[in-house]
């Protein structure tokens, strides 16, 4: 009964989110995010039909569709980067390099898992691969969050909602996948409920924060060239450093 309620609540919230996105013309601003929600919405209905009429095929259908979700989910992280830093070319440049490094560091692990799976593919292998892919997404999201914090990037309410919701979803998802990989079927029922409740919470956050368009967060253009800025900061830091060193020597 609870499972059915969560399922239907999810479909209703996804529908509401898509409807509001269409009504407030948010599709054009966040095309990848709404594509992701649209895909999950269609999947939820498909899985409901499969679960009701073909319960034996449910597990296979679930994992196959979940796998597609993971790849489309990467688009959401890409959108956070694109929209969040579009008016901050300096920070965007740093983010591009940091994300490339994160991608190169973690993608090797995913290929390793995929190669293991080519000999003997199982549900556990799918869980592991999904966990690794989610790990890449988390690493990328963390990189972006640190940059947003360090460079004090102002973010609109809409994008903050996407970032917060997707971050919570990813964190809980990777914890669940790790526990399922470790303990198998013993924790599957609990993990499934935790995941479903979290997803409903995240959909709630998205619905509230994306209900109406948020005001544009503008940025000032740099008054000086980077070289000049660097030189000035370097000399100011140098002055403070020499005073502190002086106190150490006194």
Partner 1 sequence: MMAYVSIAAALVLFGVLGVYILRSKYETTLPDLRLSDSSIAGTCDVRFGEDVAVAEQVLTRVFSVEDEEFVAGLKSSELERLMVQERKKLALRWVVRKRMEARRIMQEHTRASRTARDLQISGELQLVARYLELRVLCGLLFILVMTFGPAGRHRLAAEADALFLRIRSGRNGAASVTFS
233 binds partner 1 (CB under 8 A): yes
How far apart CA 25 and CA 39 sit, in angstroms, is: 18
Least distance from C-beta 54 to partner 1, angstroms? 32
Stretch that binds partner 1, among 15-23, 69-77, 118-126, 151-159 (CB under 8 A): 151-159
225 binds partner 1 (CB under 8 A): yes
Exposure b/e, 23-47, CB count within 10 A at least 16 = b: eeebeebbebbbebbbbbbebbeeb
27 Cβ contact partners less than 8 Å away, ≥ 6 residues apart: 21, 34
How far apart CA 147 and CA 84 sit, in angstroms, is: 11
Residues in contact with partner 1, counted by CB under 8 A, come to a total of 66
Q: Which of 30, 41, 88, 211 binds partner 1 (CB under 8 A)?
A: 88
119 binds partner 1 (CB under 8 A): no
Distances (CA, A) of 85 to 89, 93, 164, 225, 250: 7, 9, 16, 19, 46
239 binds partner 1 (CB under 8 A): yes
Neighbours of 110 (CB within 10 A): 16
- x-or-dash string of contact with partner 1, 159-198, rule CB under 8 A: -x--xx--xx-xxx-xx-xx--xx----------------
Given its phi and psi angles, is residue 182 left (phi above 0), alpha (psi -120 to 50 degrees) or beta? alpha
2 binds partner 1 (CB under 8 A): no
97 binds partner 1 (CB under 8 A): yes
Q: Which of 12, 39, 72, 142 binds partner 1 (CB under 8 A)?
A: 142
73 binds partner 1 (CB under 8 A): no
Neighbours of 76 (CB within 10 A): 23
Least distance from C-beta 96 to partner 1, angstroms? 10
How far apart CA 93 and CA 170 sit, in angstroms, is: 25
Residues found near partner 1 in the complex (CB under 8 A) = 87-91, 93-94, 97, 109, 131-132, 134-135, 138-139, 141-142, 145-146, 148-153, 155, 160, 163-164, 167-168, 170-172, 174-175, 177-178, 181-182, 219-227, 229-230, 233-234, 236-241, 243-248, 250
């Amino acid at each position: 009964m609870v499972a059915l309620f969560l399922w239907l609540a999810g479909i209703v919230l996804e529908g509401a989110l898509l409807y509001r996105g269409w009504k407030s013309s948010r599709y054009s601003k966040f095309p990848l995010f709404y594509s992701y929600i649209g895909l999950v919405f269609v999947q939820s209905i498909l899985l409901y039909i499969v679960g009701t009429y073909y319960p034996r095929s449910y597990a296979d259908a679930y994992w196959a569709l979940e796998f597609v979700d993971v790849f489309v989910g990467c688009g959401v992280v890409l959108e956070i980067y694109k929209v969040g830093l579009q008016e901050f070319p300096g920070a965007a440049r740093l983010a591009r390099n940091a994300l490339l490094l994160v991608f190169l560091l973690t993608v090797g692990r995913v290929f390793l898992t995929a190669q293991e799976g080519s000999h003997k593919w199982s549900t556990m292998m799918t869980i592991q691969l999904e966990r690794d892919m989610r790990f890449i997404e988390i690493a990328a999201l963390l990189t972006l969050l640190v940059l947003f914090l360090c460079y004090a990037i102002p973010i609109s309410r809409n994008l903050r909602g996407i970032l917060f919701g997707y971050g919570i979803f990813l964190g809980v998802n990777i914890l669940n996948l790790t526990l399922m990989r470790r303990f198998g079927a013993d924790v599957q029922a609990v993990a499934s409920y935790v995941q479903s409740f979290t997803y409903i919470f995240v959909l709630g956050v998205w619905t509230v924060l994306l209900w109406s368009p948020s005001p544009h967060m503008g940025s000032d253009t740099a008054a000086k060239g980077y070289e000049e800025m660097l030189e000035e900061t370097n000399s100011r830091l140098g002055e403070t450093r020499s005073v502190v060193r002086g106190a150490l020597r006194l």
